[in-house]
Amino acid sequence: MDIATLRVKTKTELQELLQETQAELRVLRFKVSENQLKDVRAVREARQTIAQIQTLLSANTTQNN
């Protein structure tokens, strides 16, 4: 997901998306360990999206204080 799309989302939307992406990453890791996942890049993309969401949430918290 690209950062511009994430920036327009509200805090609650970001938190929901973070939970969904973390759950998706968990599933992807299980699939990798069982050799069921052909696109291992999906793990990297999920981790990157999680990091971007956490950064935006942290920045929003810092701005509000």
Kindly report the pTM of this predicted structure.
Answer: 0.90
The pLDDT confidence band at residue 54, using thresholds 50, 70 and 90, is: very high
Q: What is the pLDDT of residues 26-51, one digit of tens each?
A: 999 999 999 999 998 999 999 999 99
Query: If residue 13 lies in a helix (H) or strand (E), which one and from where to where?
Result: helix 11-33
Structure tokens at 29: 């890791």
Angle between helices 41-64 and 11-33 (to 10 degrees): 150
- Domain regions of the chain by residue span: 9-64
Q: What is the distance between the alpha carbons of residues 37 and 27, in angstroms, rounded to a whole number?
A: 10
